[in-house]
Amino acid sequence: MSPLNIKKGSTKHSAYNLRSNFSDVQETHTLAVLVANEPGVLARVIGLFSGRGYNIDSLTVAEVDHEGHTSRITIVTTGTPQVIEQIKAQLGRIVPVHEVHDLTVEGASVERELALIKVEGTGDKRVEALRLADIFRAQVVDSTLHSFVFQITGTPEKVDAFVDLMRPLGLVEVARTGVAALSRGA
Amino acid sequence: MVVQALKDQGVDTVFGYPGGAVLPIYDEIFQQNGIRHYLVRHEQAAVHAAEGYARSTGKPGVVLVTSGPGATNAVTGLTDALMDSIPIVVLTGQVPTFMIGSDAFQEADTVGITRPCTKHNWLVKDTDKLSGVLHEAFHVATTGRPGPVLVDIPKDVQFATGTYTEKAKAKVSHYQPQVKGDMETITQLVEALETAERPVFYTGGGVINSGPAASQLLRELVEATGFPITSTLMGLGCYPASGKNWLGMLGMHGLYEANLAMHGCDLMINVGARFDDRITGRLDAFSPKSKKAHIDIDPSSINKVIRVDMPIIGDVGHVLEDILKVWKARGRKVNKEGLQKWWHQIEQWRAVDCLKYKPSEKSIRPQYAIDRLEQLTKGYDRYITTEVGQHQMWAAQYLGFEDPNRWMTSGGLGTMGYGTPASIGVQVAHPDALVINVAGEASWLMNMQEMSTAVQYRLPVKQFIMNNERLGMVRQWQELLHGERYSHSWSEALPDFVKLAEAFGCKGILCKDPDDLDDAIMEMLAYDGPVIFDCLVEKHENCFPMIPSGEPHNKMLLGEAKTKDAIGSKGAVMV
């Protein structure tokens, strides 16, 4: 035995396989990030998520204040509570990021998503699709003799449910915007 | 305009390398006197030199390089500065705006490439906005947690004339990080200070970045409370090594007493450090019994790896001032009885004397080399830079730092090749000081071209190369973790460093006998010019103490020093 007290070559530990005892429950949070509308700001936000290994479930971005050059990025992300806290802190560090809000913990909020859904079919299936669209308050925005394009807005769960129902009825294509969200009240 | 903005920002030194896309700026530099430009031999070295300059002065370092390869060569330096929170402003040339995206000669997507390795970066397409962006760049680099920024300036923007905005009139930046800590948490921490039985200060680079006043306040707090203090690699010098409460560096190659104090404490006060993996070891066994306070200006550092009980977001200087104020106002209380027992325990750990080694009569042991260097340079106005590896750890263990900003090393990124250019940057900032780069021969070869810069500008940097003809740290890990299979960790064709020194036009010194070492070091110190000192050391020396990765602090390896017969009569008096 060497004077090192461990057998040479006996440990497989690397310095990098260290994880602490934080909670490992996965949570989904919706974050609203107000950013200066300057070139590359979206790349910074996305680069942060990919660079540090965070998840993006959905992401929407658009300018919301032309005068103030502000854009709003809504990100739905999943991670342990510690990872979510890190994501918020890391987002806050980005120089053109003005505000970061966790809508999931900052009181009630409304979340909506828009989807365009193309369904192909004839006969009963076509009628059934139209009937279900009515129940879900989806609108027909394009129609041919063999197809519809529905427009539906709602929570991601509602959109999921509608898409699932359309599947056996001739679902062809889905386009979703991702979640936009605002806190309730003033 | 660029030169004017730099002058407005108080810049008098720029490290750079010209090229096609920055010629207009170089033309301006040629026609003025206020800014001194230092021509490096590689763009990576320009950034490291600026890091050395910044870290030894507290001012931002400025780099000017060309587009394409100029910018990509700067990437390592930028990443290094980001990891170690060093304020650097890099200006890169870019192909003209109308050619961007056309795969033009020496075009690279510089802002894209450097986005993850800068704190922030800008591509300026409008000359009128250039001066504003430059002022903002200095603001971002130096405010909050410092870091590198980059401004990419297309050549047509450099040529065009535009409106210049003075620094004083520039738009107030949106970027204003919080500097004052939360008073409620500070009071909570003070309460903990009053009752703690086994407290320890764990300080880091944040103290140094906060400025000399923060180090002063830290010293005052440590002296007044009588608490023990340890520091990370980056924080060495914020508390004097000769101070009575000093435990030495902590971490993977930290001192036994420092690591055991961290493991056994009941109150850990993290001041500007970030619970790096080289510090914590195994996380679930890291300082299990302590309450932890964490002072950091970067909110993302809090609870990143270690959950803390008292997070204080703010500038170290401001927070320490508030802590002192509250603590004094509450009657300067400490748990004297507990502290006495704690120090008694620490003294027992100290008695282990973990840095003990046995000097050899035949060959120079690296610890001995550093030890002699320390003894012989103690009285000097001394700045130390290092490369990365065993020599870096030995330097951190055996050299004593009395003041902040005296120790420049690549901590976070661990960049081999950092030390030589950094020593040049330090020497530029402190022309009369003694600047030594403690190096290993492998690291040193990575940026040795910079000796040419040193010679050109008559910068008397001393390159103290501990030559073991091995990649020592790699070799050590291969010995411990990979069954002594020394895969590619030695050099079979090293240059003759003395002849190399002559070729560069500086002085070379070779030393291989421990008896000659003192004289050789004195010769190096006496020479008025750059020196390459080739110190042939013991080839198979390992760096101890060491916390094997994946182990907690109390599972330290003390190494050969602990084994029988390790200490000869000569060694006993040495350390």
Look at residue B561 and tell me whether its pLDDT is greater than 70: no
DSSP element (H, E) containing B129: helix B127-142
DSSP string, B362-427: SSB-HHHHHHHHHHHHTTS-EEEEE-SSHHHHHHHHH----STT-EE---SS--TT-HHHHHHHHH
Do the Cβ atoms of B284 and A51 come within 8 Å?
no
Q: Could you read off the pLDDT of A32-88 as tens digits, one per residue?
A: 999 999 989 999 999 999 999 999 999 999 999 999 999 999 999 999 999 999 999
β-strand pairing of B88-94 with B148-154: parallel
Q: Which residues of B are catalytic?
A: 43, 105-106, 155, 473
pTM for the complete prediction?
0.91
Q: How far is CA B516 from CA A125, B18, B55, B105, B365, in A?
A: 96, 44, 34, 54, 13
Find how far residue A55's CA is from the centre of its chain: 9
DSSP string, B496-510: -HHHHHHHHTSEEEE
If you count them, how many residues does chain A have? 186
CB of B562 within 8 A of CB of A3?
yes
The sheet with strand A97-102 has its strands ordered as: A58-65, A70-79, A27-36, A97-102
Residues of chain A contacting B562 with CB distance shorter than 8 Å: 3
Here the tokens at position B546 are 């060491």
β-strand pairing of A147-154 with A139-143: antiparallel
CATH class of B2-159: alpha beta
DSSP E strand stretches across B448-512: 462-467, 507-511
Per-domain residue ranges of chain A: 27-102, 109-183
- Mean pLDDT, rounded, for B106-111: 97
Q: Which of B38, B45, B148 is nearest to B437 (CA)?
A: B45
Same fold, A27-102 and A109-183: yes
Q: Point out the least confidently predicted range of B59-68, B368-377, B486-495, B553-562.
A: B553-562
DSSP string, A103-171: TTTSS-EEEEEEEEEEEE--HHHHHHHHHHHHHTTPEEEEE-SSEEEEEEEE-HHHHHHHHHHHGGGTE
The confidence score (pLDDT) of residue B341 equals 97
DSSP string, B323-369: HHHHHHHTT----HHHHHHHHHHHHHHHHT-TT-----SSSB-HHHH
| Superfamily for the B183-351 domain | TPP-binding domain (3.40.50.1220)
Residues of chain A contacting B548 with CB distance shorter than 8 Å: 6, 11, 13
pLDDT confidence band for B560 (50 / 70 / 90): low
Of all residues in chain B, the percent with pLDDT exceeding 90 is: 89
Residue B119 DSSP class: S
Q: How far apart are CA B312 and CA B462, in angstroms?
A: 41
* Nearest-CA distance A108 → chain B (Å): 25
Look at residue A9 and tell me whether its pLDDT is greater than 70: no
Look at residue B162 and tell me whether its pLDDT is greater than 50: yes
Q: Could you read off the pLDDT of B499-556 as tens digits, one per residue?
A: 999 999 999 999 999 999 999 999 999 999 999 999 999 999 999 999 887 788 888 8
For residue B454, give the 3-state DSSP assignment.
helix
Look at residue B410 and tell me whether its pLDDT is greater than 90: yes
Q: Could you read off the pLDDT of A120-157 as tens digits, one per residue?
A: 999 999 999 999 999 999 999 999 999 999 999 999 99
The confidence score (pLDDT) of residue A22 equals 65
Residues B221-227: contacts with CB under 8 Å, at least 24 apart: B221/B320, B221/B323, B221/B324, B221/B327, B224/B324, B224/B327, B224/B332, B225/B193, B225/B199, B225/B327, B225/B334, B226/B334, B226/B339, B227/B193, B227/B196, B227/B199, B227/B200, B227/B201, B227/B269, B227/B334, B227/B339
Cβ-based interface (< 8 Å): residues of B facing A: 111-112, 115-116, 119-121, 123, 140, 174-175, 252, 277-278, 280-284, 286, 298-300, 302-307, 479-484, 548-551, 557, 559-560, 562-563
Best mutation target among B172, B282, B313 (most A Cβ atoms within 10 Å) is: B282
Please identify which residue in the block is written with the tokens 């030695």: B490
CATH 3.40.50.970 placement within chain B = 2-159, 366-543
Nearest residue on chain A to B140, judged by CA atoms? Answer: A95
DSSP element (H, E) containing B520: helix B514-526
CB distance from A108 to chain B under 8 Å?
no
The confidence score (pLDDT) of residue B319 equals 97
Q: Which of A18, A32, A23, A21 is nearest to A81 (CA)?
A: A23
Q: How far apart are CA B456 and CA B444, in angstroms?
A: 19
The confidence score (pLDDT) of residue B284 equals 86
Do the Cβ atoms of A4 and B557 come within 8 Å?
yes
CATH class of B366-543: alpha beta
* Nearest-CA distance A42 → chain B (Å): 12
Look at residue A6 and tell me whether its pLDDT is greater than 90: no
pLDDT confidence band for A14 (50 / 70 / 90): very low
CATH 3.40.50.1220 placement within chain B = 183-351
DSSP E strand stretches across B223-274: 229-231, 246-249, 267-271
Tell the burial category of B358 from Cβ atoms under 10 Å away from its Cβ (0-12, 13-18, 19+). buried
Domain spanning A109-183: CATH 1.10.287.610: no
Do the Cβ atoms of A8 and B119 come within 8 Å?
no
Mean pLDDT score of chain B, rounded to an integer?
Answer: 94
The confidence score (pLDDT) of residue B73 equals 98
CB distance from A50 to chain B under 8 Å?
no
Task: List the 5-34 stretch of A: residues with Cβ below 8 A of B.
Answer: 5-6, 8-9, 11-22
DSSP string, B270-282: EES----HHHH-S
CB atoms near residue B331 (< 10 Å): 7
Q: CB-based contacts of B232: which residues, under 8 Å, 6+ apart? A: B202, B203, B204, B205, B249, B250, B251, B273, B276, B279, B411
* Nearest-CA distance B27 → chain A (Å): 30
Look at residue A17 and tell me whether its pLDDT is greater than 70: no
**What sign has the CA pseudo-torsion B463, B468, B474, B480?**
negative
Residues of chain A contacting B557 with CB distance shorter than 8 Å: 4-6
Question: Who among A21, A44, A85 is closest to B284 (CB)?
Answer: A21
For chain A, the C-alpha Rg in angstroms (whole number) is 23
Nearest residue on chain B to A36, judged by CA atoms? Answer: B174
Q: Which of B90, B51, B40, B89 is nearest to B67 (CA)?
A: B90
Q: Could you read off the pLDDT of B120-158 as tens digits, one per residue?
A: 999 999 999 999 999 999 999 999 999 999 999 999 999
CATH fold for the domain made of A27-102: Alpha-Beta Plaits (3.30.70)
Q: Could you read off the pLDDT of B263-291 as tens digits, one per residue?
A: 999 999 999 999 998 998 888 889 999 99
- Mean pLDDT, rounded, for B34-40: 97
